[in-house]
Amino acid sequence: MRLTADKEHIAVVLNRPKYAGNIGSAARCAKNMGVERLMVVSDRDYPQEEIRQMSTHLAADVVDSIVYCRDLGEALSGFHYVVGTTARLGLARGPVMSPRDMAEQVVELSRKNDVALLFGPEDTGLTNEDLRYCQSVVSIPTSERFRSLNLSHAVMILCYEISMAEIGVPERFTPKMASSRETEGMYGHIGALLQEIGFLNPENPEYWMMHIRRLFSRMRLSAREVRIIRGICRQLSWYLHHRG
């Protein structure tokens, strides 16, 4: 059986874009590739006329249905799988994959899960703090002499790869993953317990939590599995306070 992505379950999320015109251009690029869900995370009010000029009438429906949020965590809370984008590499940003490899994963996951493609500001990109919400990170290969990409170009490349990707799989049940809201609650619970037992350095607790996040993100946890892990954390915390 050949599978293609379910694009109704895929959204482009622009985190703190600088220019209204780039929002419109991103809307047009996404619509060209069949992705019609667009979210913008910012506390700014963008000039709607600039957005519409760059989106053209062809993507007017995408612009009309843009969801605006002020907080990234809240914007991503309903998604089950988040793909972050970065041009900067390094240990703190985790292992990265190519857009093509990412697209093959999204094909299967999108059948039962909502997937967010997360893009950062044009000048700085996503921060390490932003990337903590992501289950995978993508870097678009470019010339070493010119690594900068326009925001809408990056949106087009990822959406194109997803549009073209298909995988051959036997018929099987694709589980629904836990949402970002559920996994963030779990990470908060784990972090509190690890600080309680002295495992995390209180001056830099996110260092080890970053590695713990990467470990669990590879497991594609279901909501039930998240509840089990949180139940274990609660029981361990209870034991710490009552063992005497």
Tell me: pLDDT of 170 over 90.
no
Decide if 214 contacts 206 (C-beta within 8 A).
no
Q: For residue 80, how many other CB atoms are within 10 A of its CB? A: 25
Average pLDDT over residues 141-147: 71
Q: Quote the pLDDT of residue 217.
A: 85
Tell me: pLDDT of 92 over 80.
no
Cα torsion angle, 162, 214, 23, 38, sign: positive
Average pLDDT over residues 51-75: 96
- How far is Cα 26 from Cα 18, in angstroms, rounded to an integer? 13
Residue ranges of E strands in 58-206: 67-69, 81-85, 115-119, 136-138, 166-168
Q: What are the pLDDT digits (tens) for 2-36?
A: 788 999 999 999 999 999 999 999 999 999 999 99
Helices vs strands, H then E, count in the chain: 10, 8
- How far is Cα 119 from Cα 99, in angstroms, rounded to an integer? 13
> How far is the CA of 124 from the CAs of 6, 47, 88, 127, 188, in angstroms?
31, 22, 9, 8, 27
Read off the pTM.
Answer: 0.85
Task: Specify the 3-state DSSP secondary structure of 207.
Answer: helix
Q: Quote the pLDDT of residue 211.
A: 85
Percentage of residues in the chain with pLDDT exceeding 70? Answer: 92
* Greatest Cα pair distance in the chain: 69
